[in-house]
Amino acid sequence: MKMDMKKFQAVIDSKKLPAEFTSHEFLQVYTDMFEEDYTRNISAGKGAFRKLHGPIGSYLRRKEKELGIQKIATNRDKNVKGNLSKCAWWKKTKK
């Protein structure tokens, strides 16, 4: 997936995303706002979500300063399948 800084920033700036959020919440809002991008980049087969979500999470981590977010923890949270999995927790640093 080609990471689009403007789209990621739009998600972070969205009122749908709380001041503190998980990567899973980010993905949910991203999917709501840019469904076509999300569905175009999901692959078929086992591990399809991890193959897409992993790079998105890595991008958030690499670009946190530019995006105005800060990683505050790693914890378990329900993923898109409803299973508990390791997940980054973030807070918005820009207002």
Residue-by-residue pLDDT tens, the chain, 95 positions: 788 999 999 999 999 999 999 999 999 999 999 988 877 766 666 666 676 778 899 999 999 999 999 999 998 888 777 778 889 999 999 86
Q: How high is the pLDDT of residue 41?
A: 65
pTM for this prediction: 0.85
Query: pLDDT per residue over 57-72, tens digit each?
Result: 999 999 999 999 999 9
Contacts 24+ apart (CB under 8 A), 7-10: 7/33, 7/34, 7/37, 8/59, 8/60, 8/63, 8/67, 9/67, 9/68
